[in-house]
Structures are given as structure tokens and as C-alpha cells.
């Protein structure tokens, strides 16, 4: 094997290694991606049970029901008036309350329209609204920039 052929073999092997590493990283990330939806999106385009998503919107007024132990049921809504019922078992953020912005992450149960959340994020002060939720509420005319400036 000539020197040029050896050099090409080393370069080819290195490129193969890099391609394999990139493909493995892309595969790992594709399994952990959670797309963001609002209730109106889910009403028009339902996701299959078991698909991991992020659900964002406002906590519906009068919808928070505390169950046995640390299980909480509540509804997430948006300007369209669509509701998605959510069940969460765990400790809620301190500022979790009706009418506030929330982003939940989890999956829909099989054969049910209940969203089972394993993560709940609520706004942390008077000026904060999760960016995805705020952008969607601005598009629908429910959230104005002066609300964020208060």
C-alpha cells in the first residue's frame, strides 16, 4: 500500500467514525424531543397516545382539584376555549394557581383524553410567562406586552 493510499484510508476511517457519532447523537436527541402544543392545536390535530409533548396555556378557572396524596387534576386552556384535562402526581410549583401560565410535559393516556404530566412549570414572578406560551397568547390577542411590563 502506498503512502497516498494509507493517508486516504485513515481519512476515510476518520470520516466514517464522525458520521457514525453524528448519527448516534441525532438518534439520541430524536427520542427526547418534546414538541410544544396548546389546547387549540390538540383539538385540530390530536397526537397519538404515548407521544411525549409539552402542553402550554393557562390554568382554567375552577379546574384545580386535589386528589388523594399528591395527585392534582386541572385543565389547561387557551383563547379558543378548548380544554385539556391534566393529571399530575408530585409537588407543584409554589406559584401554581388558576389563571396563570403553565407548561406541562408528559403523554396522553391510552384510550383517554387525559394528559398525564410528569413535569409542571409555572411562571415564577409577575413579569414572567414562558416564551412559547406568551408568543401563542400574543398571536391570539390574549397577552399584551404591557402585561409583561407590569
Residue closest to 87 by CA, chosen among 77, 73, 105, 97 = 73
DSSP string, 92-122: PPTT--TTSEEEEEEEEPTTS--EEEEEEEE
pLDDT of residue 88: 93
- What is the average pLDDT across 13-32? 87
| DSSP-derived pairing of the beta strands 35-37 and 83-89 | unpaired
- What is the average pLDDT across 5-17? 93
* C-alpha torsion sign, points 22, 25, 30, 35: negative
pLDDT of residue 129: 66
| pLDDT top residue among 27 and 143 | 27
Residue closest to 57 by CA, chosen among 22, 25, 102, 105 = 102
| pLDDT top residue among 142 and 119 | 119
* pLDDT of 146 higher than 60: no
pLDDT of residue 122: 83
Distances (CA, A) of 134 to 100, 137, 146: 11, 5, 12
pLDDT of residue 150: 42
CB 34 within 8 A of CB 54: yes
Q: How sure is the predictor about 148, in pLDDT bands with cuts at 50, 70 and 90?
A: very low
pLDDT of residue 73: 93
> For 49-100, how does the pLDDT look when each residue is reduced to its tens digit (9 = 90+)?
888 888 988 888 889 999 888 899 999 988 788 889 999 999 888 888 888 8
pLDDT of residue 32: 65
Amino acid at each position: 500500500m502506498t503512502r497516498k493510499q494509507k493517508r486516504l484510508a485513515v481519512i476515510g476511517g476518520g470520516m466514517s467514525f464522525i458520521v457514525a457519532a453524528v448519527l448516534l447523537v441525532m438518534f439520541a436527541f430524536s427520542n427526547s424531543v418534546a414538541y410544544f402544543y396548546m389546547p387549540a392545536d390538540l383539538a385540530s390535530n390530536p397526537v397519538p397516545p404515548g407521544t411525549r409533548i409539552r402542553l402550554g396555556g393557562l390554568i382554567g378557572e375552577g379546574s384545580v382539584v386535589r386528589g388523594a396524596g399528591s395527585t392534582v387534576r386541572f385543565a389547561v386552556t387557551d383563547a379558543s376555549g378548548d380544554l385539556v384535562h391534566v393529571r399530575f402526581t408530585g409537588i407543584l410549583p409554589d406559584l401554581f394557581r388558576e389563571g396563570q401560565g403553565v407548561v406541562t410535559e408528559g403523554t396522553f393516556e391510552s384510550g383517554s383524553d387525559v394528559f398525564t404530566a410528569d413535569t409542571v412549570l409555572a411562571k415564577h414572578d409577575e413579569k414572567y410567562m414562558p416564551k412559547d406560551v406568551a408568543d401563542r397568547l400574543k398571536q391570539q390577542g390574549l397577552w399584551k406586552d404591557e402585561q409583561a411590563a407590569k
